[in-house]
Amino acid sequence: MGSSESKIDKHNLSNDSSKQTPRTNDESVVNVGSSNDETKKSASIFQSPKLDDSTPKKYELKPAHVNTLVAKTWNPNDPKSWEPEMREYHALPNSDYMLPDDAAEQDRLEMQHYVLRAAYQSDIVCPAVQNLVKTPGYKILDVGCAGGFWLKCVKKDNPQTECHGVDISQTLVNQPTFQNDGILLQFGNVLEKLPYEDNTFDYVHQRALVLGMPREKFPDALRELIRVTKSGGWIELVEADIVLYNAGPYSQTLTTAAFDGLHRRGLDCYAATNLPFYVKQVSEHVEKEEQKMVHLSLGWGSKMGILFGADIKAGFLGLEDWMHKSMNLSREDYRQLVQGCYSEWPQHKSFGQFRALHFQVKK
């Protein structure tokens, strides 16, 4: 990332002027890209990170083309896929997770954490849990905890809470800093079986696993979350659509190819939109379901929007090893295409969306 990104205080995004519009079914939209004076002032102070804001010169915009065999079968753990510039990945042969397992990806996830924290105005969206988590001995689990940014924030605000995390990254769960923070981590995969007994947790949180959760496995993953949650406990899911709304020509080219490739791999590019559908498949265990959708501006409109743009740009660059081969592009052309997307988002007022859905477990 360019040096100007460091000007954004990701710990203090709460002064964004967000406008909330009520919707039916307990759903609301946070318009992060509002055009009021305060937001314009924030956008003028916190400028977008810059590499080259000019229109890409080396990449000639053309219809998206996907090598379907590569898109479907590429595996970073297969020696046939290895390239000199490849990043590090989870060392699980059967893992469906598409993004790297390295320091750059952890930086991106930290950006995303603070964006979502500001968008939902809390680390925990469920109002009931916001109160219950203050109870001494309240036991929570973060599934797919990655660098533990969410867990550390919850633990800092609620030191009496017993915090656990599970992830498929052996490197991350072995970090000594977690133990120093009073957070207990284990290696595990929700797509197989979590390393916990039945009815262990009061609250289970899972966020942004859209690039590692095949459509057909989502209901079984929910059943596994329900298994480790106590009756009367809560589950909270936060997911994104891998779609850019109000997309310009560069974004349409990139997202069309990404959508095609991810769909062929069995992943749900509309995970946020489809969350209620998946939860309905385990409805016998669900009560008091509530949800909240947020629309997040990409690279424009507010400090949060600027940071979210940097997050999504880094995410597309994280897919480079797979995408440049799927699209039959050189790495340089792929990077120019991503830069073209990033440069056009403010002009087209592009945005993405997340849905948070929580429910009480009934057994």
The strand pairing partners of 296, in sequence order, are 352
pTM: 0.84
Are β-strands 139-143 and 229-240 bridged in parallel, bridged antiparallel, or unpaired? unpaired
The set of long-range contacts for 324-327, using a CB threshold of 8 Å and a minimum separation of 24, is: 325/67, 325/70, 325/74, 325/81, 326/66, 326/67, 326/70, 326/71, 326/74, 326/257, 326/261, 327/64, 327/65, 327/66, 327/67, 327/257
The 10s digit of each residue's pLDDT in 303-353 is 999 999 999 999 999 999 999 999 999 999 999 999 999 999 999 999 999
DSSP per residue, 153-191: HHHHH-TTSEEEEEES-HHHHT-HHHHHTTEEEEE--TT
The 10s digit of each residue's pLDDT in 212-228 is 999 999 999 999 999 99
With b for 16 or more beta-carbon neighbours within 10 A and e for fewer, the 262-272 pattern comes to bbbbebbbbbb
The 10s digit of each residue's pLDDT in 262-272 is 999 999 999 99
* pLDDT (0 to 100) of residue 91: 79
Backbone angles phi, psi at 352, to 5 degrees: -125, 175
Ranges of the chain whose pLDDT falls below 50: 1-8, 11, 14-58
Which residue do the tokens 């979350």 mark?
225
Token pair in block for residue 52 = 């080259």
Are 151 and 142 spatial neighbours (Cβ–Cβ below 8 Å)?
yes
Are 254 and 325 spatial neighbours (Cβ–Cβ below 8 Å)?
no
Give the torsion through C-alpha atoms of 39, 44, 49, 52, to 10 deg.
120
* pLDDT (0 to 100) of residue 2: 34
The strand pairing partners of 240, in sequence order, are 354
Q: Which of 245, 239, 208 is nearest to 351 (CA)?
A: 245
What letter represents residue 335's amino acid? R
In order of their start, the domains of the chain are 82-288+304-344+357-361 (3.40.50.150)
